[in-house]
Amino acid sequence: MATSSPANSLPSDFEWGFATAAYQIEGAFDEGGRGKSIWDTFCHLEPTRTKGANGDIACDHYHRYEEDFDLLSKYGAKAYRFSISWTRIIPMGGRDDEINEEGVAFYNRLIDALLARGITPWVTLYHWDLPQALHDRYGGWLNVEQSQRDFERYAKVCYERFGDRVKNWITLNEPWIVSIFGYSTGGNAPGRSSINPQSTEGNSATEPWTVGKALIMSHARAVALYNKEFRAAQNGRIGISLNGDYYEPWDMEDERDHEAAERRMEFHIGWFANPVCLAQDYPKCMREQLGDRLPEFTETEFGLLREAEIDFYGMNYYTSQFARHRDGPASETDCLGNVEEFQENKHGLSVGEPSGVHWLRSTPNLFRKHLTRVYRKYGKPIYITENGCPCPGEDKMTVEEAVNDVYRIRYFEDHINAVALARNEDGSDITGYFAWSLMDNLEWSDGYGVRFGVTFTDYNTLERTPKQSALLLKGMFDKYMVPTN
């Protein structure tokens, strides 16, 4: 019989490793039969909307994956989360379009190379790189009916070709970012917005909510398909990765700010977690604010959501904020829940220690609260599918300076400790952790300046150099892990 564990321990079978995404690292944009994605288009717009950066070469992982997986072994990783590029598998994207066998073979090589090293593959089906052909054909995620059927077929091909070895599936990465940054603010591909002066198309008042429903139903179709046709034979797990900050009231004495903090998290997380985890409608506060701009679910769709039961909640967490209520009605293009967001509270107290990017401060204590809130609200085992940071000033550092990443080491230590406390003191079921990211890479619209990697990438030579955090992470987990009986 197991004895009680200390508050800051983790079980010996706790899964941990590193995470990446296809467009951010692969490169080889025109090799191996790969089709064009919306990020290929977005990164080549003029004037640039990605600080002049693109993923044409990126980290050249397509040609260097063996070298990169040797790093995983060196770092002691148990698992590796990566995404499959939809357009490498089906270049035109659609359910009647041709499968690209070269792309299938590439991912077979990746999976086999990981397994040969004793590293468990975790596959994300969609990490933002929608086939451009589908966007051109019918509007992509703006067409709820067509997009979910094409995503279902893409998922089926992946299950069929890789599911004999891949036992951990993530349908979508951060649908909130896809919907809001892609179709409200216009900062990400495909860059549609009616409030961004750089955008020439879009409606920020309606399109994000349509896209959100398309993503939810695409997820549901992919999970229901897995549960019905593949689970019994393949014996795998499937879930989704949702992003979301934790929010505290800007003024602890103002009940309206308490309500604002909760409302902000409902707009951030409940939007997707309510339908996906609970097969329920969107949060009430969203219905109240958005009215008929928020699409309804039919009874048939609720039935599909019930069939699409997931095994885990993938949590992408980086930081927390303070929420302050706004007086008066929300604007038509508001997507936050009619709140203001701050990094300092009413008394000027910072939410956490600043990092190397303006929006991220280190907030391990609020991470613990976030884990506990999500687990109690949605009841699914949690895998932290992304967590990490850039160090202050790292974007200007030489490789010799960057490898001594003291801030990142402290960030990891503090956040892993928060995981242990949330498990053991708060009763939250947390079973895995993926550090973002294995290497410095293309940070989407931020280009190549911001460095989240535990490995330094020289973008001129593509040489990889391990940072101290990469070499120390295994020791951090070893320190926390205790044998399970």
Q: Is 359 exposed, middle or buried (0-12, 13-18, 19+ CB in 10 A)?
A: exposed
Spell out the residues 6+ positions from residue 81 whose beta carbon is closer than 8 angstroms to its own: 17, 18, 19, 20, 122, 123, 124, 170, 385, 434
Cis peptide leading into residue 437 (ω within 30°): yes
Residue 11 has pLDDT above 70, yes or no: yes
Cis peptide leading into residue 381 (ω within 30°): no
DSSP 216-245: HHHHHHHHHHIIIIIHHHH--EEEEEEE--
Q: What is the pLDDT of residues 55-64, one digit of tens each?
A: 999 999 999 9
CB 186 within 8 A of CB 166: no
Q: How confident is the model at residue 433 (pLDDT cuts 50, 70, 90)?
A: very high
Q: What is the CATH number of the domain that holds 23?
A: 3.20.20.80
Domain membership of residue 194 as a residue range: 10-482
Active site residue 160: no
Mean pLDDT of 403-420: 98
pLDDT of residue 1: 30
pLDDT of residue 5: 54
Can you say whether the dihedral through the CA atoms of 209, 210, 214, 220 is positive or negative? Answer: positive
Total domain count, the chain? 1
Mean pLDDT of 463-478: 97
Percent of the residues in the chain that have a pLDDT greater than 70, as a whole number: 99
Q: Which of 174, 248, 301, 394 is catalytic?
A: 174
In a domain, 142, yes or no: yes
Residue 37 has pLDDT above 60, yes or no: yes
CB 117 within 8 A of CB 73: yes
Residue 2 has pLDDT above 90, yes or no: no
Q: How confident is the model at residue 483 (pLDDT cuts 50, 70, 90)?
A: confident
Q: What is the pLDDT of residues 74-125, one digit of tens each?
A: 999 999 999 999 999 999 999 999 999 999 999 999 999 999 999 999 999 9
Q: What is the pTM of this model?
A: 0.98
In a domain, 4, yes or no: no
CB 38 within 8 A of CB 189: yes
pLDDT of residue 484: 65
In a domain, 3, yes or no: no
CB 155 within 8 A of CB 225: yes
Cis peptide leading into residue 190 (ω within 30°): yes
In a domain, 111, yes or no: yes
* pLDDT, the chain, mean: 97
pLDDT of residue 7: 78
pLDDT of residue 75: 98
In a domain, 70, yes or no: yes
Q: What is the pLDDT of residues 243-261, one digit of tens each?
A: 999 999 999 999 999 999 9
Q: What is the pLDDT of residues 311-334, one digit of tens each?
A: 999 999 999 999 999 999 999 999
In a domain, 438, yes or no: yes
Q: What is the pLDDT of residues 261-283, one digit of tens each?
A: 999 999 999 999 999 999 999 99
pLDDT of residue 485: 60
In a domain, 1, yes or no: no
Q: What is the pLDDT of residues 141-187, one digit of tens each?
A: 999 999 999 999 999 999 999 999 999 999 999 999 999 999 999 99
d(CA 308, CA 483): 34
Active site residue 174: yes
Spell out the residues 6+ positions from residue 474 whose beta carbon is closer than 8 angstroms to its own: 75, 76, 77
pLDDT of residue 482: 83
In a domain, 415, yes or no: yes
CA angle in degrees (0–180, nearest 5) for 109-114-116: 90
pLDDT of residue 89: 99
